[in-house]
Chain A
């Protein structure tokens, strides 16, 4: 497949999910006026967010049902997301999440403005520390939701603010976070995903165990560094043979299908079962 075609495929899927979520959000409002876009249904965004399932885990486990505004749909989406992540890592982040897509779109403006400096503003040491911030956000959100039984994150959620801006349901704090993320997206690729997304933090852990990790073939690699340059999450792909970085979003931008100029050098694949078998036999 041509490199441009592989990249376009991801963008088509991203646009499709962004448009779908936007239409569902609009439809949720229209239904209150007696108008409904056919087929879409009138679910709220809370009902369609897999992270709602994650914050409900404690309450479900202790027999209290779901957190307010969260329903079975979020629970199902959470398990689908986990199932896919077990095989492919956080594909949800790289291919589906409309807020990740939104940040990427803003990032294109940043790339035009800052060229090669884009996504290289944050000093590496500071960046390395900040990358763990999203686990603190995750812990705070899960703890507070478990204590109160209320969807606490909605008041800070820029994704909810983006798709509900017109409804009057969005807290001012969420608008502030959205504004900050939009501004930062002009300098840093996917700033919310890197530093604050609690759902990305959960899915990121699957990178450590995913069955199909990204692999770099050191024998054919020409050390051009294009994989590193194209990684939106600034992961050092060229320095590893298996990428199990907790921030990989499985966008495949680094692979031989997109950035890597050498065929079959950076790929998404399992371990070599034959080698594994012979190693075990010996």
Chain B
């Protein structure tokens, strides 16, 4: 006795097994096609249990931030000069696009993912230690004052970090289309999602990395922000030195 398979059987069974498998795994909650957009929470102190703005990543959209931190996407769009023209939803704007849009702006100061963390921190009152070169937009500062999220004294203290946005606003759709989200393969930027494996391929030895970060390195697949968050180290405190080492190794 033999069991024989026909073309008709394959044409029906194979797609059925694929789609059935997907449906079954989805029903079990196993079918996940994107990274979790839930940031880490503070583990101790006054804000223990609250979401930590330090874990906002470039892949988060303004909508993700609104749902987690309660900062309206429209406010974020206004603070960072991203147009709400009705045709495109600012809630879909990914934070990582800011770095490309404002690449040439602000001299030594940068408007990027860290600027969003700072804004969210100031809006919500949640503590966050920003990078030294992180900027606050003039529009963002005005919104913080209007919403009484910060007082004038705090605003005065932030003055050296304020950058004026260019006239008009950036169109969301155009910005999203123009921004290259190819993980900066050629630029070799040390970011929160950079892995130790990438640092090694960029020419840094284990010893060099450990000398900079002061602790044994994580696994090759461990991302910087996750690793430092777990180790209780502020990523921003070592980011610049890692970047310098990467640049030197090129």
A contact set with B: CB distance below 8 Å: 1, 6, 9-10, 12-13, 16-17, 31-34, 41, 43-44, 47-48, 59, 62-65, 67-68, 71-73, 76-77, 80, 83-84, 88, 91, 95-96, 146-150, 155, 168-171, 212, 250, 252, 255, 257-258, 267-274
How far, in whole Å, are A62 and B198 apart by their CA atoms in the complex? 18
A155–B220 CB distance below 8 A: no
Residue of B nearest to A29 (CB): B177
A12–B3 CB distance below 8 A: no
By Cβ-Cβ distance, the 6 closest A-B pairs, closest first, are: A149-B221, A148-B197, A43-B33, A47-B33, A149-B197, A64-B221
A59–B221 CB distance below 8 A: yes
The 10 listed contacts between A and B (C-beta, < 8 Å) are: A9-B11, A41-B33, A76-B21, A95-B10, A147-B197, A149-B221, A168-B180, A169-B182, A269-B5, A270-B3
Residues of chain A with a CB closer than 8 A to B157's CB:
none
B32–A33 CB distance below 8 A: no
B219–A62 CB distance below 8 A: yes
Residue of B nearest to A91 (CB): B14
How far, in whole Å, are A272 and B4 apart by their CA atoms in the complex? 10
Q: Please tell me if B200 contacts chain A, counting CB pairs below 8 Å.
A: yes
Residue of B nearest to A272 (CB): B2
| A41-B33, A270-B3, A272-B1 known; A149+B182 contact, CB < 8 A | no
Residues of chain A with a CB closer than 8 A to B15's CB:
13, 16-17, 96
B221–A32 CB distance below 8 A: no
A84–B92 CB distance below 8 A: no
How far, in whole Å, are A148 and B194 apart by their CA atoms in the complex? 10
Within the complex, the shortest CB–CB distance from A206 to chain B, in Å, comes to: 14
Additional A-B contact list (9), CB under 8 Å, known A6-B6, A6-B7, A269-B5:
A10-B7, A33-B177, A34-B92, A68-B193, A71-B35, A77-B22, A96-B14, A96-B18, A150-B183
Q: Please tell me if B152 contacts chain A, counting CB pairs below 8 Å.
A: no
Residue of A nearest to B218 (CB): A64
A34–B219 CB distance below 8 A: no
A252–B25 CB distance below 8 A: no
Set B7, B30, B198: member contacting A149, Cβ < 8 A: B198
| A95-B14, A147-B197, A149-B222 known; A168+B6 contact, CB < 8 A | no
* Residues 84-110 of B contacting A (Cβ, < 8 Å): 87-89, 92, 94
How far, in whole Å, are A96 and B10 apart by their CA atoms in the complex? 11
A149–B219 CB distance below 8 A: yes
A212–B5 CB distance below 8 A: yes
How far, in whole Å, are A41 and B1 apart by their CA atoms in the complex? 45
Residues of chain B with a CB closer than 8 A to A43's CB:
33-34
B198–A47 CB distance below 8 A: no
B contact set with A: CB distance below 8 Å: 1-8, 10-11, 14-15, 17-18, 21-22, 25, 30-35, 87-89, 92, 94, 173, 176-183, 185, 193, 195-198, 200-201, 219-223
Set A44, A64, A257: member contacting B34, Cβ < 8 A: A44
Residues of chain B with a CB closer than 8 A to A273's CB:
1-2
How far, in whole Å, are A179 and B34 apart by their CA atoms in the complex? 30
| A62-B219, A76-B25 known; A257+B33 contact, CB < 8 A | no
How far, in whole Å, are A197 and B145 apart by their CA atoms in the complex? 57
Q: Which of B11, B181, B223 has the most CB of A within 10 A?
A: B11
Residue of A nearest to B24 (CB): A76
A1–B6 CB distance below 8 A: yes
How far, in whole Å, are A63 and B220 apart by their CA atoms in the complex? 11
Set A64, A83, A171: member contacting B182, Cβ < 8 A: A171
Residue of B nearest to A87 (CB): B5
Within the complex, the shortest CB–CB distance from B179 to chain A, in Å, comes to: 8
How far, in whole Å, are A31 and B35 apart by their CA atoms in the complex? 16
Residue of A nearest to B3 (CB): A270
Within the complex, the shortest CB–CB distance from A67 to chain B, in Å, comes to: 6
B180–A252 CB distance below 8 A: no
A149–B220 CB distance below 8 A: yes
Residues of chain B with a CB closer than 8 A to A1's CB:
6-8
Residues of chain B with a CB closer than 8 A to A268's CB:
4-6
Within the complex, the shortest CB–CB distance from A28 to chain B, in Å, comes to: 10
B31–A76 CB distance below 8 A: yes
A65–B221 CB distance below 8 A: yes
Within the complex, the shortest CB–CB distance from B144 to chain A, in Å, comes to: 27
Residues of chain B with a CB closer than 8 A to A155's CB:
185
| A13-B11, A33-B88, A88-B10 known; A146+B1 contact, CB < 8 A | no
A64–B220 CB distance below 8 A: yes
Within the complex, the shortest CB–CB distance from B167 to chain A, in Å, comes to: 25
How far, in whole Å, are A269 and B223 apart by their CA atoms in the complex? 48
A44–B221 CB distance below 8 A: no
Residues of chain B with a CB closer than 8 A to A9's CB:
7-8, 11
How far, in whole Å, are A252 and B10 apart by their CA atoms in the complex? 10
B173–A147 CB distance below 8 A: no
B198–A150 CB distance below 8 A: yes
